[in-house]
Structure 1
Amino acid sequence: MQLSNEEEDYNLSLSKFESMLKTNKVLFFDSEEFEEIILHYLDMGKSALAKKALKLALDQHPKSTGLKLVQVEMLVFDDKLELAEKLLNELYAIEPTNEEIYIQKANIYSKRDQHEKAVELLRIALKYTDDNADVYNLIGMEYLFMDNLEMAKESFIKCLEEDLEDQSALYNVVYCFEFLDQNQEAISYLKKYIDKNPYSEIAWHQLGRLHYGVKEYENAIRAFDYATLIDDEFLGAFMEKAKAFERLKKYEEAIESYSRTIELDDATSYALLRMGKCYEKLGNSVLALKYFNETVHEDPLLDKGWIAITDFYVRQKNFQKALFYVNKALAIDNQNRLYWKRFASINKQMNFFEEAEFGYRKAVEFGDHSLETWLFWVDILQFLGEFESAIQTLLQASEYFPEENEVEYRLAGLYFMLTDNTKAKFHLSNALRLNFENYILLEDLFPVVWAKKMVQNYIAKHKK
């Protein structure tokens, strides 16, 4: 690729400066050359070289406002705000209409968390600048710091009116709309923006994301298609398009889009996992398992990959293998209630009741308070003959489900098993009041209790 004259001059200046440092010969550079050299080193994170270049620059051009403003920028970066402010006041006395002075003053106020004052100064800078877009962008950022999303959005929109190509402002506008829960307004704005700038792949991509967010998946795919037509290597757009196809249950198209992301970059565990899920939905268990295995090969620490294989084997009723893989997931994340519930369920299927009980206990410990989990846990405790523990667990469950007949019937059955008839009758009365027809639970879960004449009479009496 041929370099422009400006780029050639810039590279030449840089080579000349670095050569000077090596030979200790002092060469002359004009002030603009020095500015570019200093800013280059700052961008590269080489602050020591930037400071060295600034010192040489000020020796050669002691009255250059541009270089002194670069000096201010470096002082602000180093948090030497008082020195920077003093220098700015001196520059203001010489050039009161230089917009960069107001921008740097605003930067100092921003560093001090005085964002309103910073905005005031940036609005003065607007009177003198030729680059309104940049100043509006800075104003928008100050409003973001103040959590004033409406004013931030307005400023970023003004920035884009001045410079349609400002991608950071475009992202920030969409961020503000989304934060304010104005998704439909954001869609309308992006459509108008695209009318003015139809070849902005970023705008099409953001439009697709917004349509996806409001579940307009067909529209989302259309927008992502435009983004990938403009830039056929836009990995993010292919990934989002694949997700939208999945939502529409168009699994073959989803696989095609995920495959494209793998062609564009190294395979990601996420894409491989989703491809496995799509193949599973299509009934192709061989390819599903292939991609699940590739997922964990790509990222052995991705617990979702191990869980996908777990669920695959559960559906195949191969519980031995399912148990092996759920343990892999738990080794990565042993505080995940959903993984513990799977662990418990698999062990229960294999008649490993003590392990199943442990799994349900851990699931509840880590926040699974669904009725189903409590009841599975209790039923296993009962099966193991741990009636007292089962009662304590049910009393805990009743705090979450105070009017649940399934909890009350179980409490009644367990208390009858322990011959605590007073408490048993109390809970049986509650259960029959809540759902009389469900008394069959006693017969299913507590056949010994069901056979008692006292229990039969109590239920018959309640029926009358």
Structure 2
Amino acid sequence: MPQKSIIFFGALFFIYLAGGLIADEGWSYYMKKAEKQFAAEQYGFALENYARVLDRRPHETAALNRVAAIYLKRNEKRTALEYLSRSIAADPRQPDVQNAAGELKEFFADYPAAFHHYMAAIGADPSHLHARINLVRYYAALHDSAKASEHFEVCARLGKAEGDRLVAMGAAEEKKGNTIEALALYTQAVGKSPAHLDAFFHIVELYRRAGDPEAAILTLDRVKEIRPDLEKAYVHSGYLYFAQRFSPRRKYMLEQTIINAETALELNPGNREMYFLLADVYRFMGDDVKAAKLLEKADSLFGPGPIKEIPGR
């Protein structure tokens, strides 16, 4: 009898072990299948197989993150956030996931929670570019320039040496008149050093000189994303929009000129040129009274005098 009992319990143990191996094999099979479907953009089928993975391994972060990504692609942000939160609960040291959760929290106007996630992201990876940029925006909104600059400087140091080298090469090509080669090099510089402001402004200037203000403005929009408190970006945007005041989209161009000029003044009330730009806008719109008041305000604040030249004006 004892021998039979040993055999019986041994068989049970084998069945238990085999069952565990089969279950483990099952989740990995579904994971591989889901990954192939995700890569092929067969998101509906992928969701089914990720669900099978999570039935077997509820804390599998790779599956949770993929499901979140699919719901983000479908613009189902709240559902995506639920899966990101589950992933973070399973493993909080995922900087990309923390940052993505922060951006969603920010979208839903939960700014303290967003800040918490951004800080967790740089806690896990101090060089996490996107989390740092999000913190720049967060502190800029609070008008805390010191903190915004602190995080931006970390971003600016990432890839700076290579970015500087490519910008120097681009400037050399530009000097020779090779604008296409110069633009390619400046673009590479931004790729290597995503917060390289000099590279961005070289690109803006090339587009402006090439007569492509829309491309220049889009580049400035990227600058505003990484440094939302940079006065220079709004100044350049204001002039570029105003230069298109005769386009079929005249109303939009004038509105954007005003928005950018006023934002520049919020950042630097001492920017005399923006009062003159706004005066030009209102004069163009036929509001001579408002234009005159802006000129009077500029003179009362700074006194009459020459306007400082703005690069790329």
Query: Which of the five TM-score ranges fits, normalised by the shorter chain?
Result: 0.3 to 0.5
TM-score of the superposed pair, with normalisation by structure 2 = 0.47
* Greater gyration radius: 1
TM-score of the superposed pair, with normalisation by structure 1 = 0.33
